[in-house]
Amino acid sequence: MAVYIEGIRDPADLVSGFDALARQNKPVIVLKAASTEVVARATSAHTGVLATSDDVFDAVLARYGGIRVHGVEELIDVTVALERLKMGASKRVGLISTSGGAGVLATQAAERAGIELPEPAPETRERLAQILPDYASSGNPGDMSGAFNEHPEIFNESIAAYCDDPQYDAVGGILTVQPPPVADLLAGNLIDFARSQSRPPAVLWIAGEMSAAGRARLREAGLAVFEDADRCMRALAARVRKNPLDKRSAPSSPSVNIDLGSLKNQPAGQVPDDEALALLGRCGIPVPPMHKCATTNNARGALRELGRVAVKAVGLAHKASAGGLVLDVTTEDEIVQAHTQVTEAAAQGGGEPAYTIVQQLAPSGLELIIGARRDPGFGVILVVGLGGSIAELCQRVSRRLLPLNDGEAVEMLRETGIWDVLANARPSAPLETAAAIHQLAGLAQAIGDRLEAVEVNPLIVHSSTEGVSAVDVLLLLRDTQAP
C-alpha cells in the first residue's frame, strides 16, 4: 500500500491500520509532508490537523515495518519495485550491463543506496565464460560490451546466469542508447525472458527519451523499469524490509520488580537528581557511588571516601553550560571550590542550592544518550544516540515506540552505527548497552502515565573495564489530572 500523509487527526486509527497491514505482512510505503516547521504550518492551515513531528512518525513506521519515502517519484519507484519484484531478503544484487560505462554509473549509485554487489559465484563465472566473448567482463557488474548486437542470444543468456545465482536477491539488467530496431529487439527479448522467470530482473534503461518507447513496452508487460540509476538502486534497497511480526512476537515487558519509591507522591516537574539516579540503580542500570552534600565538610568526607569525583548541582537540566558541573576533583581545596561553585549555579539557575551531589568518577568510555519522552498522539518514544556534550550536535539517533520489543535495542544500536563502535572497543559492550536500553524502557513503562520524559546523558560504556555507568539523569513527571 502506498499512501500520502499531510497530517494525522487520529493517531490511534493510523496505528490500527499499520498494525493490520503488519499482521498480513503487507508493506506500506509512506510519503509524509510536514518535515519542516514551515511545511508543518502550511499543512495545518490546509487540513486543520496537527502535523506530527518527523522523528515520532519515523518511530511509528519502524515499529510497523513501514517504508518512508521523500518524494512522489520515489513513492512510485518503491511501489513498482515491491509490486513487480516482491520483497527482498538482502541487498545483494547482481548487475549485467550492455555498456561498461553504464555499469560504472550503476555501481556508484548502488554504493550510495547501500546495495551490495558481490562477485558472481564460480559456477556463474564458468557459465558466463561459455556465453561472453573474451573481451567482455563477468564480474559484478558484468559487461556484455556490445557483443549482443551480433549475437542477440547473448543478452538473455547472460542475464539468466545472474538470475540463477542464488546469492543475488535481485538482478538488474542495464541498457543504454540503441538504434530503434535493436531497442525493439531487446525489449522483446526481455519480455520473453521475464515471462520464463519466477524472479524477473529489474531493468535500468538510461537513454532518456530515446528509450521511452522501449521502457513503455516493458512496463506494459509488467517489468520493473527505471530510467535513473540512483532511483533504481534506492528502490531495490527499499525492498529489503524485515517482517515486523518477527520482532513483535516477543515484547519486552516492563520489570514488575522496579521499586518506584516515593515517586508516586512527587509533584509534577523535575525529580531531584539523586532520587532519579537512585531509581536508575534500582531498575538495574549501574550508577557510580554518590553522596548528597549539604556542606563543604560533607563534600570533603565524600571525597575521602570516593577518591576522584564529580561535583554536581541539583535541579539543573543543563549542568555543564550553567556552571553546575565540575569534573575530576581530587583535592580538598578543589572540592570546597567545586561545592561552592555548583551551589551558586543552582541558586542562579533555579535549581536546588541546599545540597550538591558528589559522585565517584566513572571509568572512561563512549558516551551515549538514552531517553524516553511522551508524544501527545503516539505515547512514549524511546531515543538512543551519541551523548555527552555533543548530543545536541549529533543528529544520528534511533527512535522506537514503547513498549520495546526483544531485539529492538540491538536494532537501534546498529542503525546509529554505535553497535560496531562498541564491538570494536570491547566485545561485550554492545550487549551490555542493549540491556541498559531495555532497562530504561522498562522504567519508563513502570512509571506509566506520569512520565513526561526521562533522559540518561551520558550513559558511559566503559572502554577498558566491564559494564556501563549512568552518570546523569533528567526525570520529568507530569500532572495526569491536568486537561
**20 or 146, higher pLDDT:** 20
Average pLDDT (260-276) is 87
Q: Please say if the pLDDT value at position 405 is more than 60.
A: yes
Lowest average pLDDT, out of 2-16, 103-117, 344-358, 382-396, goes to 382-396
**R_g of the chain, CA atoms, integer Å:** 29
Lowest average pLDDT, out of 290-299, 301-310, 403-412, goes to 403-412
331 and 381 in a single domain? The answer is no
Whole-number pLDDT of residue 242: 66
User: pLDDT of 308-328, one tens digit each?
Assistant: 999 999 988 888 889 999 999
Nearest Cα neighbor of 421 from 380, 384, 471 is 384
44 and 185 in a single domain? The answer is no
Whole-number pLDDT of residue 468: 96
User: pLDDT of 55-66, one tens digit each?
Assistant: 788 888 888 888
Measured distance between the N- and C-terminal CA atoms of the chain, rounded to whole angstroms: 37
47 and 165 in a single domain? The answer is no
**Considering the domain boundaries, does residue 246 fall inside one?**
no
92 and 54 in a single domain? The answer is no
168 and 227 in a single domain? The answer is yes
Query: Quick check: 118 and 92 in contact, CB under 8 A?
Result: yes
Cell numbers given for 464: 577498558
204 and 62 in a single domain? The answer is no
Burial of 78 (0-12, 13-18, 19+ CB in 10 A): buried
Per-residue confidence at 330, pLDDT binned at 50, 70, 90? Answer: very high
Percent of the chain with pLDDT over 70: 89
Distance in angstroms (rounded) separating the CA atoms of residues 59 and 66: 10
Total domains, the chain = 4
**Considering the domain boundaries, does residue 282 fall inside one?**
no
Place of cell 531498575: 283
Per-residue confidence at 390, pLDDT binned at 50, 70, 90? Answer: low
Average pLDDT (246-265) is 63
378 and 341 in a single domain? The answer is no
Nearest Cα neighbor of 381 from 10, 65, 61, 67 is 61
The length of the chain, given as a count of residues: 483
372 and 356 in a single domain? The answer is no
Average pLDDT (318-340) is 93
**Considering the domain boundaries, does residue 155 fall inside one?**
yes
Whole-number pLDDT of residue 46: 36
232 and 310 in a single domain? The answer is no
Q: Please say if the pLDDT value at position 304 is more than 90.
A: yes
Place of cell 555527552: 388
Per-residue confidence at 49, pLDDT binned at 50, 70, 90? Answer: very low
Distance in angstroms (rounded) separating the CA atoms of residues 465 and 361: 14
Average pLDDT (221-234) is 94
Residue 373 lies in domain: 365-477
Looking at mean pLDDT, say which of 21-25, 208-212, 346-350 comes out highest. Answer: 346-350
Boundary of a domain, candidates 240, 274, 306: 240
Helices 11-23 + 54-64 axis angle, to 10:
30
**179 or 385, higher pLDDT:** 385
Longest dimension (CA), the chain: 94
Lowest average pLDDT, out of 120-124, 150-154, 357-361, 456-460, goes to 150-154
Domain CATH code at residue 356 = 3.30.1490.20
Domain CATH code at residue 41 = 3.40.50.261
User: pLDDT of 426-451, one tens digit each?
Assistant: 999 999 999 999 999 999 999 999 99
Whole-number pLDDT of residue 63: 84
**Considering the domain boundaries, does residue 77 fall inside one?**
no
Query: Quick check: 279 and 262 in contact, CB under 8 A?
Result: no
Predicted model pTM: 0.77
Q: Please say if the pLDDT value at position 39 is more than 50.
A: no
Q: Please say if the pLDDT value at position 45 is more than 90.
A: no
Q: What is the 3-state secondary structure (H, E, C) of the chain?
A: CEEEECCCCCHHHHHHHHHHHHHCCCCCEEEECCCCHHHHHHHHHHHCCCCCCHHHHHHHHHHHCCEEECCHHHHHHHHHHHHHHCCECCCEEEEEECCHHHHHHHHHHHHHHCCECCCCCHHHHHHHHCCCCCCCECCCCEECCCHHHCCCHHHHHHHHHHHCCCCCCEEEEEECCCCHHHHHHHHHHHHHHHHCCCCCCEEEECCHHHHHHHHHHHHHCCCCEECCHHHHHHHHHHCECCCHHHHHCCECCCCCCCCCCCHHHCCCEECCHHHHHHHHHHCCCCCCCEEEECCHHHHHHHHHHHCCEEEEEECCCCHHHHCCEEEEECCHHHHHHHHHHHHHHHHHHCCEEEEEEEEECCCCEEEEEEEEEEECCCEEEEEEEECHHHCCCCCCEEEEECCCECCHHHHHHHHHCHHHHHHHHCCCHHHHHHHHHHHHHHHHHHHHHHEEEEEEEEEEEECCCCCEEECCEEEEECCCCCC
Average pLDDT (288-294) is 96
Domain CATH code at residue 436 = 3.30.470.20
**Considering the domain boundaries, does residue 248 fall inside one?**
no
373 and 351 in a single domain? The answer is no
Query: Quick check: 173 and 224 in contact, CB under 8 A?
Result: no
**Considering the domain boundaries, does residue 257 fall inside one?**
no
Per-residue confidence at 100, pLDDT binned at 50, 70, 90? Answer: confident
**Considering the domain boundaries, does residue 260 fall inside one?**
no
Q: Please say if the pLDDT value at position 233 is more than 70.
A: yes
Average pLDDT (447-471) is 93
**Considering the domain boundaries, does residue 224 fall inside one?**
yes
Place of cell 581530587: 330
Whole-number pLDDT of residue 253: 47
Distance in angstroms (rounded) separating the CA atoms of residues 387 and 154: 56
User: pLDDT of 70-86, one tens digit each?
Assistant: 899 999 999 999 999 98
Average pLDDT (299-306) is 96
Average pLDDT (263-292) is 92
Boundary of a domain, candidates 213, 240, 267: 240
Boundary of a domain, candidates 300, 331, 360: 360
Nearest Cα neighbor of 177 from 208, 154, 145 is 208
424 and 340 in a single domain? The answer is no
Residue 233 sits at the vertex; the CA angle it makes with 230 and 236, to the nearest 5 degrees, is: 150
Whole-number pLDDT of residue 124: 95
**274 or 481, higher pLDDT:** 274
User: pLDDT of 137-146, one tens digit each?
Assistant: 889 999 887 7
235 and 143 in a single domain? The answer is yes
